[in-house]
Chain A
């Protein structure tokens, strides 16, 4: 709905008469021609004329000059290999599907950024001259295309305009649209982008998995070294202390002492009995046993002292030390075991979590040019006029309140 400016509408014939009459006069004096031109300019500068010119040129560009554009569309999904434990999947399919879609969506979003990066651009078009040549500007349409000697950001910008990657949050698939000035151009770009995505997905996954594996293996190695060190320490200790276990020795000593003590108790009982038998406490039988008792007591004291004293064999400390070393070895063994398990798991998981780009619909060679952009652009210019008219009219009106 172009701006209709009724006052100027009404005055249009008047203008015309004036200008035509002054045109005949213009032959008479040079001053008049300036007036005529001003008059003409005024007529051209009317909003109605300007808007018609704008719309006409937009239509002319969009439907006549504009180069054909071709679009190729492909759809693919980034899919993980199915989990191993799929027994419950049939019952909880809905619940299980959601995270699957979600991971695909996140992958799709990464992919979107990746495909639009300059890295991929340089990979696809290593030679920027070649890019310029492929998408060079052709005569009637000087607007679209890539001009010669364009800068790198310009090229990247142009490259980004040629493709659109849209991950679908509901299905998890990715729709890849590419455009080009020739059908093959669009198709080729699409195919090579799919190839790039495949490479991206594999590369990323593989490198992640490789990292994980490497870490796990390193852990195993570390655990092995630890175990070896602990065992070695224990061996050294045992070698130093007569290859005997301090604990058993300690046990032997204490049983020896307790044997002596029980013998002492027996002797003491015997001595008490003899003292009752013989009135004389110094009878030779009695004193013989009493001597034995005191000897035995001295012997026990001696043995006790020997077991704990520092210059003796100090069996207690040795036993503690040995227990520590033993638990070290035990721990290192456990660690190694779990590290091996983890490493094995990670290897298996990485096999399982490998992702694939599954192409749902292959891009086809476009047979007819895509007219969508023409309409979009033309309607956009109509929209600009309408919105400018609406907003401008409103604001102007509101401002001239007084």
Chain B
């Protein structure tokens, strides 16, 4: 019983510390620039609007083709909704993973013995989650308002997938950071991969079922694609998700986070090394 009490206190303090660091970072930002803490969402928002504009433009050029062979994603989602669901998940992953990868930028709080690098990482993840959640809620709210059709078929699944993605991103980032012990080039290559390959294989622009069957294995290795597609599925249960499995996502995120925690225990300060190009 005492053990559980201690565990509970420890967890409670841990959470409090992480949140305090998150507030610290926000406060720091809020006095730093004129737009204050909104700065965090301006960057992603720009990008998502660009993507949506691009996609809407293309579909205007191409003409809507609702009943192409096998059907298209337009049958299940509004274009804006489709892109933004993909974007939300991919950027959540990308931002969190890159934060871990490129070394902690926020390191002053480490001066206090209680604060560990992982705390800061989690705090930054919390902040990113908040910013992206704000964006996504805003966009979905707008879409729902305009189309007047509220749909969220499996809210539980959406939540779980969202959380798993955050975990996976952190685990991935930390793992790769420790890989950089072996070779700096690995990190550079992986950073590039995340930035570019990830965007194009994670289904921001396409749905898995739109791909022909032989092309699917080229993208389904990517666990982020699974989280994107599952998130879409959880919004609309009619959305077909061939070759997408929840188990794969769970396995990936658990493996990554487990590995990363093991690695983290052994060499904590590695996270402080900047990996900028």
Q: Is the interface of A mostly helix, strand, loop or mixed?
A: helix
Stretch at the interface among B12-20, B49-57, B100-108: B12-20
Q: List chain B residues, Cβ under 8 A from A124.
A: none
Known A105-B71, A397-B37; judge A375-B156 contact (CB<8 A): yes
Q: Which B residues between 219 and 242 are near A, CB-CB below 8 angstroms? A: 237-238, 240, 242
From 265 to 311 in chain A, residues with beta carbon under 8 angstroms from any chain B beta carbon are none
Contacts of B154 in A (CB 8 A): 376
In the complex, the answer to whether B70 meets A101 with C-beta atoms within 8 Å is yes
A177, chain B: closest CB distance, angstroms: 9
Are B155's CB and A380's CB within 8 A? yes
Residues of A within 8 A of B237 (CB): 164, 166
Closest to A394 in B: B130
Q: In this assembly, does B38 line the interface, its C-beta being within 8 Å of a C-beta of chain A?
A: yes
Q: Shortest Cβ distance from A163 into chain B, in angstroms?
A: 13
Collect the chain A residues with CB atoms within 8 Å of residue B36's CB.
Answer: 398, 401
Determine the interface band of chain B, counting residues with CB < 8 A from chain A: 35 or more
Which of these, A166, A168, A380, A397, contacts B26 with CB under 8 Å?
A397
Decide yes or no: A393 and B159 within 8 Å by CB, A1-B15, A169-B209 being known contacts: no
Residues of B within 8 A of A387 (CB): 133, 137
CB of A376 within 8 A of CB of B155, answer yes
With A1-B15, A106-B67, A166-B238: A397-B137 Cβ-Cβ less than 8 Å: no
Tell me, yes or no, whether B59 is within 8 Å of chain A by CB. Answer: no
Cβ of A170 within 8 Å of any chain B Cβ, yes or no, is: yes
Given A98-B70, A379-B160 in contact, is the A394-B134 Cβ separation under 8 Å? yes
Q: Which of A166, A377, A395 contacts B156 (CB 8 A)?
A: A377
* Nearest Cβ on chain A to B221's Cβ, whole angstroms: 20
List, in ascending order, chain B residues with CB within 8 A of A105's CB: 67, 70-71
Fill in one digit per residue for B151-169: 1 if any A CB lies within 8 Å of its CB, else 0.
Answer: 0001111111010000000
Contact with B along A1-43 (1 / 0, CB 8 A): 1001010010000000000000000000000000000000000
Chain A residues within an 8 Å CB radius of B131: 394
Query: Number of A residues whose C-beta is below 8 Å from B?
Result: 34
Report B75 CB to chain A, min CB distance, Å.
7
Evaluate contact between B160 and A169: CB separation under 8 angstroms.
no
Tell me if A383 counts as interface (CB < 8 A to partner B).
yes
Chain A residues near B240 (CB, 8 Å)? 168-170
Tell me whether B145 is interfacial, beta carbon within 8 Å: no
Interface check A259, CB cutoff 8 A: no
List the A residue with the shortest CB-CB distance to B23: A397
> Per-residue CB proximity of A371-399 to B under 8 Å, as 1/0?
00001111110110011001101110110
With both beta carbons as reference points, the residue of chain B lying nearest to A375 in the complex is identified as B156
Within 8 A of A (CB), among B35-81: 36-38, 40-41, 67, 69-71, 75
Within 8 A of B (CB), among A318-362: none
Q: In the complex, are the beta carbons of A169 and B71 less than 8 A apart?
A: yes
Find A391's partner among B67, B69, B137, B238 (CB 8 Å cutoff).
B137
Closest A residue to B162 by CB, please name it. Answer: A383
B129, CB-defined interface residue at 8 Å: yes
Task: Say which residue of A1, A170, A390 sits within 8 Å of B134 (CB atoms).
Answer: A390
Question: What is the chain A residue whose CB lies nearest that of B154?
Answer: A376
- Contacts A166-B237, A390-B130, A391-B137 given; indicate if A383 touches B156 (C-beta within 8 A): yes
State A400–B26 Cα separation when bound (angstroms): 11
Q: How far is the CA of A377 from the CA of B155 in the complex (A)?
A: 7
Q: Is A229 an interface position by the 8 A CB rule?
A: no
The 10 A-B residue pairs with the shortest CB-CB distance in the complex, in nearest-first order: A379-B156, A380-B155, A383-B159, A401-B36, A376-B156, A169-B71, A398-B37, A394-B130, A390-B130, A390-B133
B-binding residues in A (CB < 8 A): 1, 4, 6, 9, 98, 101-102, 105-106, 164, 166-170, 375-380, 382-383, 386-387, 390-391, 393-395, 397-398, 400-401
27 contacts between A and B (CB under 8 A): A4-B19, A6-B20, A102-B67, A105-B71, A106-B67, A169-B75, A169-B240, A170-B70, A170-B240, A376-B154, A376-B157, A379-B157, A379-B159, A379-B160, A387-B137, A390-B126, A390-B129, A390-B134, A391-B133, A391-B134, A393-B130, A394-B127, A394-B133, A397-B23, A398-B37, A401-B30, A401-B36
- Given pairs A4-B16, A166-B238, A394-B41, 12 additional interface contacts (CB within 8 A): A169-B75, A169-B209, A376-B154, A380-B156, A390-B133, A391-B134, A394-B131, A394-B133, A395-B134, A397-B30, A398-B36, A400-B30
